[in-house]
């Protein structure tokens, strides 16, 4: 299957700092990328959908000014957690798709963020 690379795989940061997570599609052009968050022992929750070259669409309850998403190219989307707090500690996963509709999405390896 197609490969999606997410980096870093884990990160520890201090409260108040910002953290950037990258999601790259290595062997296909991802017109749409998705960002998910998973708290311990809970299901994945969609945070936002980003289409290349346009603003991300955020799910209800997700602060767009706190979770900045940039999808500037067909192979790269970034999620920046700004002014991180301990409650932002979570597992963040991206997925990428070649297009809208019934096309398969491929997942990154995930990033475990710990804010201390």
Partner 1 sequence: KNEVEQSPQNLTAQEGEFITINCSYSVGISALHWLQQHPGGGIVSLFMLSSGKKKHGRLIATINIQEKHSSLHITASHPRDSAVYICAVGANDMRFGAGTRLTVKP
Nearer Cβ to partner 1 (33/84)? 33
Phi and psi angles of residue 16, each rounded to the nearest 5 degrees, phi first: 95, -15
Residues that bind partner 1 (CB under 8 A): 1, 32, 34, 38, 42-46, 49, 91, 93, 95, 97, 100-107, 109-110, 112
CB 69 to partner 1: min, Å: 14
What is the sign of the dihedral through the CA atoms of 102, 71, 76 and 18?
negative
The pairs formed by 53-56 with CB atoms below 8 angstroms and a separation of 24 or more are none
Whether the CB-CB separation of 114 and 15 falls below 8 Å is answered with no
Nearer Cβ to partner 1 (3/83)? 3
Beta bridge partners of 22: 7, 78
- Measure the CA–CA gap between 99 and 105, rounded to whole angstroms: 9
Nearer Cβ to partner 1 (26/83)? 26
CB 1 to partner 1: min, Å: 7
Nearer Cβ to partner 1 (84/93)? 93
CB 112 to partner 1: min, Å: 6
CB 16 to partner 1: min, Å: 25
């Amino acid at each position: 299957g197609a490969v999606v690379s997410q980096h870093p795989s884990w990160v520890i940061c201090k409260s108040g700092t910002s953290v950037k997570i990258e999601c790259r599609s290595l062997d296909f052009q991802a017109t749409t990328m998705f960002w998910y968050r998973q708290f311990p022992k809970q299901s994945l929750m969609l945070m936002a959908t980003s289409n290349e070259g346009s603003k991300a669409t955020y799910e209800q309850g997700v602060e767009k000014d706190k979770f900045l998403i940039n999808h500037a190219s067909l192979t790269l989307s970034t999620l920046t957690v700004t002014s991180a707090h301990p409650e932002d500690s979570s597992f963040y996963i991206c997925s990428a798709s070649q297009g809208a509709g019934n096309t398969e999405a491929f997942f990154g390896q995930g990033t475990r963020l710990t804010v201390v």
